[in-house]
Structure 1
Amino acid sequence: MAVCVISAGSFCVACASSMAIFTEKAMAEEFHVSHELTILSVSLFVLGFGVGPLIMGPFSEVYGRTIIYRISYILLVLLSLPVVFAPNLAVSLVFRFLLGTAGASFLSVAGGSVADMFPASQVGTPMAVYTICPFLGPVFGPLLGGFINQNLYWRWTYRILIIWTAFQLVAIFLFVPESYAPVLLQRKARKLRKDTGDPTYWAPLDRHDIPLTRSLLLSCYVPFKLLMFDRMALLLDIWDALLLGILYLMFQAFPIIFEDGHHFDVQTTGLTFLGIGLGMGIGLATQPFWNRLAVWEAAKHGGKAPPESLLIMGQVGGVLVPLSLYWFAFTTYPRVHWVVPILASVPFGTGVFFVFTATFTYLVTAYRPIAASAMAANSAMRSAFAAAFPLFAGAMYNRLGPVGATALLAGLTTVMAPLPFVFYRMGPRLRAGSRFAV
């Protein structure tokens, strides 16, 4: 139940990032600004995803996971109100950024909760369920937003989000217990001191000598130090960032392809994202196969598989993504039936899921001593790309056309596709020479 609620919380936050897509034109008309400025409502929200983990990580290691979730969702409810009643675009954009920062805990801390509750031999499937939610969320956001904006006033998008987050907040209070072992041990020691009157019961966290301000500084410093001095982490993070940037760019590209090219209305255009969602679902359905492969790899290496075995899934994803984008690119002509490019987006969703799952688990495993910082660096870079790509999507598609622009993206992913194959072979040597990796 806890994993389901945490995953639903991640899905809700990720949905909130992209539901704003179909509000952009109405906001531009009401606030008398250009459409390019209203795209920032998505970009700034996603940029908050990169800032949030740097703040939430240290707090979660001192105060636990649950308090972070509760405060995050309380803030998500309260900070949504200024967006609903925004008198101008500036107010809306500022609070969209703050909403992204508040919701980022479910994209950074939540994975730790799942790992807390299951042993390593059983964590694969629940972690896969959690991992897919932050990527399914942006896909379903336009679908929900399309139906809302086709039939209701644009501000109803945010009103419905408030209702959703309020229900999610109640579920967090009811069904998500604290799972972080040091905090549980601290509570146990406090209870023993109270019940027995013996002041000698203390937990390690009671003697936490590092000031919180220093922890915050380290959480901002170490991730960027990792990117500067470790080429393997940098390249894997760039690969992830490129794919998430392309995913968010699609939110601007699909309306151009399907509204302008195939004359879809808003809600039907939202439905076109189901192809990517279906692909991610197919990727999740293959998890039993990857679990068996992990057992086989461990047996082959004497009971403990090297971290590089995790990149096999990334190899499959690295091939699927460019192939699907080339297929998508050359079927975006209006004369080609609309179902063909939607079918082309299915393997893209599967490939993206495989790449993210492989790289996330590899980074956490290979950089275990600084796993939180490794994921914070990955999150910061992904968020920067995801925030930037939608801003130039319209200009790129207008200048190059849907075929040329999508083929360019396919070419970029082709360049990155060899990474999991290279690191599968060279990973042990690169880790041996790294100051951060195990």
Structure 2
Amino acid sequence: MGRSDLKQDQTKHITDSAEAAWDEVFLVTFSPDDAENPLNWSKKLKWGVTAAVSGTGFVRIMVSTMMAPAINTIAAELNMSTTESTMALSVYLLATAFGPLFIGPLSEVYGRKSIFHFTNVWFLAWNLTCGFANSKGLLIAARLLAGFGASAVYSLGYGVLGDVWPVEQRGRSLSLYLLTPLTGSAVGPIVGGFIVEYSTWRWMFWATTILQVTLELSSLLLFYESYAPVLLRRRAEKWRKETGDSRYYAEVEMRESGRSAVWKLNRSLSRPLRLLAFHPIIQVQAILEGINYGLLYFALASFSALHVSAYGESISISGLHYIAICTGTISGAQLCGPLMDYVYKRLTTRTGDTHVPELRIPLLLPGVFFTPIGFLLYGWAAQHHLFWLVVDVGAALLSLGMQIFDTTLHAYVMDAYPEHISSASAATQVLRSLLAFAFPLFSNRLYDTLGYGWGNSLLAFLSIGIALPSTGILWRFGAKLRARRQSSY
């Protein structure tokens, strides 16, 4: 928010008491070389914080996909129908639709650190409960609640990256942050397949709980508060106490002056939904990411079953094919990151403009085309029972395209909403997780009706039919849409 917006906010919201006479001499800010400014932290400290959120992201995403090879086994033991067992897999994603709506804004009120540790412990407790579930109702409920804690990675993680890494290093930080969590999306089904075949499915949850405990203990040493408004508020409070001068203040205190704690909390918690309802940039990104993520989980839900039914493989071996999807997503993130920074630097040099989010948009195009090509190759190779490697290449291509598209969109939103990255990420996560929850529920019926060839062709046409025109809209009208938006505060 600019200085003029702050003055308007001050005029509109602050009472007429003497406290309203804010003197800029006492405004608490970061100096350009301030060591306490997260953007000026040492590389070691920045990578430590990044590693902490990346490591917990690995466990949370691994748990989201680990159940895929075990669906039939769990269904038989807990007397679940096919729909109910698939629900146990997908309900985790349902929670990630709504969890960020609370977690993201709360991290902008109470700081990243406290919310980060709280969600870690919450996830740990309910994931452990899944391992002891003796009924389908308890398993589904525990998966839902574990997913709520796991959803922090979808809002809090991006907020932390925006706190500590400057715009010109956005791509590199995103690619390295995503490396570990994206590995989890493939490691989950692979490990899950072997656990189901050689042990009890319950060890999927017990083992990941042990890993989560280890990561949480490590993060106590690595994770520091990084949200600048909270740090500046604390600095202002410290200076008022040390000097006895009550005139020191932070910008966030000026905005909230005269407001009750309930109003502040309500304003914060409503932010993601306000962004989704009134900000076209968020609406477009939510639709694009929703379709993208839903299609990915559509493929994940049926991928293992395809190799078991069509190629006669065991559950454990079928899980190894998720390496193809993992290879695509990791390659997409690692190629996209450095390329994003390179393209952004070239475009800013050529145009003379700096901090223009639309300069991220050209990198969406590779993702627009790789995804449908991958779906077509995967679908028709499976339809005609071609060599399994052809199917895997198709899966790798579609996941590569999706990851390039997704990473670029995240960078775009982070640039467009620098002060409220967590809330903006939470707003876009709603539709994304809802579709990831819903799409797998219909995968079996679609493939039974149309077959893998025409079924995946339908998904390919849906992907490019939405992504291509939307990319053009963002490039052509993105700046105008941002100019007309309301304040994110």
Assess same fold via TM > 0.5.
yes
Matches within 5 A, 1:26-65: 26-65=73-112
Q: Which residue does 1:377 correspond to in 2? A: 427
Q: Which residue does 2:317 correspond to in 1? A: 268
Distance change in 2, residues 1:318/1:214 (3 Å):
farther
Q: Point out 4+ residue stretches in structure 1 off by more than 6 angstroms.
A: none
Deviation, structure 1 residue 141: 1.6
Q: Which residue does 2:291 correspond to in 1? A: 242
Query: What is the distance in 2 between the residues matched to 1:176 and 1:156?
Result: 29
The count of corresponding residues between Structure 1 and Structure 2 is 437
Q: Which residue does 2:379 correspond to in 1? A: 329
Distance change in 2, residues 1:292/1:365 (3 Å):
same
Q: Which residue does 1:423 correspond to in 2? A: 474
Aligned pair partner of 1:100 in 128, 134, 147: 147
Q: Which residue does 2:410 correspond to in 1? A: 360
Distance change in 2, residues 1:365/1:187 (3 Å):
closer
Contact 2:117 2:216 in 1 (8 A): yes
Distance change in 2, residues 1:213/1:50 (3 Å):
farther
Contact 1:8 1:133 in 2 (8 A): yes
Q: Which residue does 1:198 correspond to in 2? A: 244
Calculate percent identity across the aligned residue pairs: 26
Gaps of 5+ in 2: 1-47
Matches within 5 A, 1:201-240: 203-204=249-250, 208-209=256-257, 210-211=259-260, 213-219=262-268, 221-240=270-289
Q: Which residue does 2:222 correspond to in 1? A: 175
Query: What is the distance in 1 between the residues matched to 2:385 and 2:174?
Result: 42
Matches within 5 A, 1:116-131: 116-131=163-178
User: What root-mean-square deviation, in Å, do the aligned CA atoms of Structure 1 and Structure 2 show?
Assistant: 2.5
**Partner SS for 2:119:** helix
Contact 1:226 1:436 in 2 (8 A): no
Deviations 1:92-147 (A, max 9, x none): 11111111111211221121212222233334311232245554432332122112
Question: Which amino acid is the alignment partner of residue 402 of structure 2?
Answer: V
Query: What is the distance in 1 between the residues matched to 2:207 and 2:54?
Result: 19
Matches within 5 A, 1:249-288: 249-286=298-335, 287-288=337-338
Question: Which amino acid is the alignment partner of residue 117 of structure 1?
Answer: V
Query: Highest CA radius of gyration, 1 or 2?
Result: 2
Contact 2:106 2:269 in 1 (8 A): no
TM-score (norm 2): 0.83
Query: What is the distance in 1 between the residues matched to 2:163 and 2:419?
Result: 16
Distance change in 2, residues 1:307/1:90 (3 Å):
same
Aligned pair partner of 1:69 in 113, 116, 122: 116
Distance change in 2, residues 1:408/1:64 (3 Å):
same
**Partner SS for 1:386:** helix
Query: What is the distance in 1 between the residues matched to 2:343 and 2:53?
Result: 27
Gaps of 5+ in 1: none
Query: What is the distance in 2 between the residues matched to 1:14 and 1:414?
Result: 26
Deviation, structure 1 residue 410: 0.9
Q: Which residue does 2:130 correspond to in 1? A: 83
Worse overlay, 348-357 or 123-132: 123-132
Contact 1:132 1:353 in 2 (8 A): no
Query: What is the distance in 2 between the residues matched to 1:75 and 1:220?
Result: 19
Contact 1:57 1:219 in 2 (8 A): no
Contact 1:257 1:402 in 2 (8 A): no
TM-score (norm 1): 0.92
Q: Which residue does 2:55 correspond to in 1? A: 8
Question: Which amino acid is the alignment partner of residue 291 of structure 2?
Answer: L
